[in-house]
Structure 1
Amino acid sequence: GPPVYTQPKQFTLIEGLLGYHTEALRNCYDVRVFLAPPEELRRAWKVQRDCSRRGYTTDQVLEELDRREPDSELYIRPQQRWSDIVVSFKPGKRGDQEHLDAEIVLHKGLVHPDLSELSSDDGSGIRVDESDTEHRLFVPGDIDPARGSEIEESVWERMHFASHLRSERLGEFTVGTELHRSESLAIVQVLVLYHLVTARATLALGGEGSRADHVEAKAPATAAPQG
């Protein structure tokens, strides 16, 4: 359809399939997030949503996914290389959606909070692997809620100037009409929020945003293409 004007807000969140397809589009965002779940999980989510909320049958949803697969391979998944943050939720030990493991790739385009001091190699908490080009953060789906809260609090302390944005609803999601909560989802959300708040603060101080390759100042925005 025709373009629709959106009134500027303090934060602009954009979700779509081709958000990073062109350089002009990529330059619109201060934070670029790409959701990259395993194909089996992505299909399960799609079936669950479209059958419960949109009235489709399972066969209809799967047929549509198969029809779109060539486009996903050619146009959607390649956009991952332009992202700052790649989030992959994966089946965890418990096998339910409240306890999905999360793998978060943090590319060097943004300055990410240092969580290495909270890293644990015994499987009870997060694990952080660092290289010259990226950080990889692993969050077990069955992480203890107290440990998850400690990690979230550590990130919140780095954005104390945005305490008014604190919410007890981080990590909440719905399956059909039922409300659930995920510790790994909450950690992912607070990390994304950290970068939005950091970009907003940088702009407020007269900077050009928090991206190393930032082109021009703009209201902080984030986008999350999905395959």
Structure 2
Amino acid sequence: MPHKLIRMQRGRHQAGPGRPTMLAIAGDSAAGKTTLSKGLANPLGPERVTRICVDDYHRYDRQERKNLPFTALHPECNYVEIMEQHLQLLATGQPILKPVYDHDTGQLARPELVEPREFVIVEGLLPLHSRLTRACFDITVYLDPPEDIRRQWKIKRDTQKRGYGVEQVHAELERREPESAAFIRPQRAVADLVARFAPVAGRYDPPGTPLSAELMLRPTIRHPDLRRILAESDQRALHLSLARDEDGLPVDALHVHGYVPREESRVVQKAIWSRLGLEGGEPVEMLGDLGNGDRSEALAITQLVLLYHLLTAAR
């Protein structure tokens, strides 16, 4: 189905029974996509959320890719047409038989039946690659950590969880770089929200200080009225500024400070939740989980903003 038709079809039916709310989280390898998506699914509840990874649409397993002239980041290494078809089906409330790629073993596994629930969260390398895939989503996010930080995350993950050596990871990063620039990073330009987790520029915090977040809130969707909320909150935790996008156009940027004490950040999170007029109890305790008992207040507030978008789109 052409991308304009899928937009028209979804536009005729508001999110709800038979028409899920669709969120895409795009980014390079080890950019934090799974951490972000898990943190969104937990407070919504497993009975309301379907999560999929479009990296499952790899054409080749890890062993086969060693002899190919391109990497897993290249569209030729993925069944993009099937991914487009499946996203359309999910976006219109229909089940799919999704392929499965096992990241731990690098092998292709048995396909699985996936049925869309109220919310569908899609993460991966290429969910915003084409106009057709983008037309399937209500909200789109691109994760854009500084490259040196992302490489540290990838080395840690691939050596601890996927059996690689440090030199192997470095070599793979260099091999992937041209395709990352050609196919992954261009998705940043088409996302509704760009999230960047990094130290605050020009601020010299001691080692171990949690990363802060900068959220670029593009006017392609309606974002929460944060100015009124922030006027009543502690400005040490977060603030808005007017920034310049890559194309030079002005855009709102939300700065979430990771160095703020947890107690202050949680007060702000509760204030945001209550002033957004959303139903249900505060999900503060479920947000910001980095795993292994670690927590990020900047991640928690980022997830809170995305929860706002998911719940208001569904409502």
TM-score (norm 2): 0.57
How big is the shift at 1:21?
A: 1.1
> Match of 1:55?
163
Q: Deviations over 1:54-93 (max 9, x none)?
A: 1111111111111010001011101111101100001352
Structure 1 range deviating more: 60-69 or 141-150: 141-150
1:95 aligned partner:
207
1:80-119 equivalences under 5 Å are 80-91=188-199, 93-96=205-208, 99-117=210-228, 118=230
Query: Do structure 1's residue 124 and structure 2's residue 236 form an aligned pair?
Result: yes
Deviation digits for residues 95-120 of structure 1 (CA, Å, limit 9, x no counterpart): 33x61011110001111112224269
What is the rounded CA distance, in whole Å, between the counterparts of 1:147 and 1:182 in structure 2?
13
Residue 143 of structure 1 aligns to a residue in which SS? coil
The residue matched to 1:60 in structure 2 has which SS?
Answer: helix
Match of 1:220 in 2: none
Cα displacement (A) at 1:20: 0.9
Moved more, 154-163 or 71-80: 154-163
1:75 match: secondary structure: helix
CA RMSD across the alignment: 2.3
Check if 1:37 corresponds to 2:145.
yes
Superposed CA offset, 1:1-32 (max 9, x none): 57615201111111111111111000111110
Question: What's 2:257 paired with?
Answer: 140
Residues 153-202 of structure 1, C-alpha deviation per residue, up to 9 Å, x if partnerless?
Answer: 2331244443157251201112xxx220111111111111111111111x
Q: Equivalent pairs: percent with the same residue?
A: 37
CA distance in 1 between partners of 2:147 and 2:191 (Å):
19
TM-score when normalising by structure 1: 0.78
Report whether the alignment pairs 1:21 with 2:135.
Answer: no
Distance of aligned partners of 1:87 and 1:108 in 2 relative to their CA distance in 1, 3 Å threshold: same
> What amino acid does structure 2 have at the position aligned with 1:28?
C
Residues paired across the two proteins, number: 196
Are the equivalent residues in 1 in contact too, given 2:269–2:284 (CA < 8 A)?
no
Larger RCO (alpha carbons 8 Å, 6+ apart): 1
Amino acid across the alignment from 1:63: A
Aligned to 1:46: 154
Kindly indicate whether the alpha-carbon contact (under 8 Å) linking 2:284 and 2:300 is maintained by their aligned counterparts in 1: no
Match of 1:25, SS? helix
1:191 aligns with 2:305: yes
Q: Distance in 1 between matches of 2:117 and 2:281?
A: 16
